[in-house]
């Protein structure tokens, strides 16, 4: 999980800011995509709608409408089939306009692009940043050989039609917002215990595994010293970064419980280490104080040392 993200003040006053002004739903989704816990520096990452809706505090329908507005102004692309998003200018803001061939960040960009090879959006990223970031042509050939389709081409026609219909309804009504402050109906969204909070991609016949709020509550009682949702997000980021280490849907509970146990043990060990360092500092201070005392008189000398 990322520790920080750059968001420029021009987000509100620039060209995109002007286009989103007054559209609170799209503004909120855009800001979330720039700072999402599972996002990365190239802006191409796995982002299921239920996870986005849960973090924002809105309905899944509301998150979808916000994405539709952002897609219409070319802020991002979203592949409904793979549930990956590509924020078009994110790499430009997080990394920079160009990368030298010897820049170490370039290898990280290639690594993230390789992990996103099945997103349906990897070629979109390559064609936008290949020249500026000095990406090798072999990378494009590899993506093409894998048969990955570009952007929204990976989405079924019916899904595109549904998204366009939602956008038309928004323009007609001109008041469909899903922010908690403006639409109380959002409470019927992903906050329900049966709705997925995070979605893990898995191996085997079942391709995904859903983490629900009821499961988070159960584990929070078993591991009170941990923030279970943050731990699950870290595990999700780890799985996304290591696709070859994905678990089966049946093994996800065991995997996460083991993750929690390791995190709890590390925290306990780190606590002991810190206490040992503090104790060592205390004893060192005592020894330093003893060194300041005058030496005792020679043996057989009854005189006091003062």
For the stretch 47-79, pLDDT in tens is 999 999 999 999 999 999 999 999 999 999 999
What is the number of other CB atoms lying within 10 angstroms of the CB of residue 239?
18
**Residue that wins the pLDDT comparison between 152 and 33:** 33
* Least trusted range by pLDDT, from 81-95, 114-128, 198-212, 237-251: 237-251
Please provide the average confidence, as pLDDT, over all residues in the chain. 78
Greatest mean pLDDT among 19-33, 137-151, 232-246 lies in: 19-33
At 160-196, the pLDDT tens digits run 344 344 444 444 443 333 344 334 433 444 445 567 8
- How many angstroms separate the first and last alpha carbons of the chain? 64
pLDDT greater than 80 at residue 202: yes
Element (H, E) at 25: helix 24-35
pLDDT greater than 80 at residue 81: yes
Structure tokens at 18: 């002007």
Q: Could you tell me if 292 and 268 are in contact, meaning their C-beta atoms sit under 8 angstroms apart?
A: no
Distance of CA 292 to the CA centre of its chain: 55
74: left (phi over 0), alpha (psi -120 to 50) or beta: left
What is the CA angle 175-178-180, rounded to 5? 120
Task: Give the pLDDT mean for 219-224.
Answer: 88
pLDDT score at 143:
80
* Length of the chain (residues): 306
Using pLDDT thresholds of 50, 70 and 90, give the confidence band for residue 256.
very high
Calpha distance 123→105 (Å, rounded):
19
Q: Which residue has the tokens 């159960």?
A: 218
pLDDT score at 290:
59
Q: Could you tell me if 34 and 12 are in contact, meaning their C-beta atoms sit under 8 angstroms apart?
A: no
If you ran DSSP here, which 8-state letter would residue 45 be given? E
Q: Could you tell me if 197 and 216 are in contact, meaning their C-beta atoms sit under 8 angstroms apart?
A: yes
Tell me the CA distances in angstroms from 124 to 54, 74, 128, 156, one per residue in order.
Answer: 28, 12, 6, 18
Q: What is the DSSP string of 185-231?
A: GGGGSTTSTTSEEEEEE-BSSS-EEEEEHHHHHHHHHH-TTS-HHHH
């Amino acid at each position: 999980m990322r520790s920080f993200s750059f968001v420029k003040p021009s987000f509100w006053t620039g060209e995109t800011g002007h286009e989103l002004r007054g559209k609170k739903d799209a503004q909120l989704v855009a800001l979330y995509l720039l700072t999402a816990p599972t996002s990365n520096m190239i802006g191409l990452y796995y982002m299921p709608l239920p996870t986005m809706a849960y973090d924002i505090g809105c309905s899944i329908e509301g998150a979808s409408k916000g994405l539709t507005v952002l897609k219409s102004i070319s802020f991002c692309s979203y592949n409904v089939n793979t549930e990956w998003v590509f924020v078009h200018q994110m790499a430009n803001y997080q990394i920079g306009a160009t990368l030298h061939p010897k820049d170490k960040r370039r290898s990280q960009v290639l690594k993230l692009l390789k992990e996103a090879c099945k997103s349906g959006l990897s070629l979109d990223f390559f064609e936008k940043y290949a020249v500026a970031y000095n990406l090798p042509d072999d990378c494009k050939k590899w993506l093409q050989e894998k048969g990955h389709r570009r952007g929204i081409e990976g989405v079924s026609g019916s899904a595109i039609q549904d998204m366009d219909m939602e956008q038309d309804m928004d323009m007609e009504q001109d008041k469909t917002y899903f922010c908690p402050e403006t639409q109380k109906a959002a409470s019927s969204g992903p906050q329900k215990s049966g709705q997925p909070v995070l979605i893990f991609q898995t191996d085997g016949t079942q391709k995904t595994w859903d983490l629900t709020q009821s499961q988070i509550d159960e584990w929070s009682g078993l591991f009170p010293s941990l923030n279970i949702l943050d731990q699950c997000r870290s595990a999700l980021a780890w799985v996304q970064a290591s696709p070859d280490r994905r678990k089966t849907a049946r093994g996800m509970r065991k995997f996460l419980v083991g993750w929690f146990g390791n995190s709890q043990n590390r925290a306990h060990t780190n606590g002991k280490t810190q206490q040992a360092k503090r104790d060592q500092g205390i004893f060192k201070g005592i020894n330093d104080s003893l060194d300041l005392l005058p030496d005792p008189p020679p043996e057989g000398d009854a005189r006091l040392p003062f």
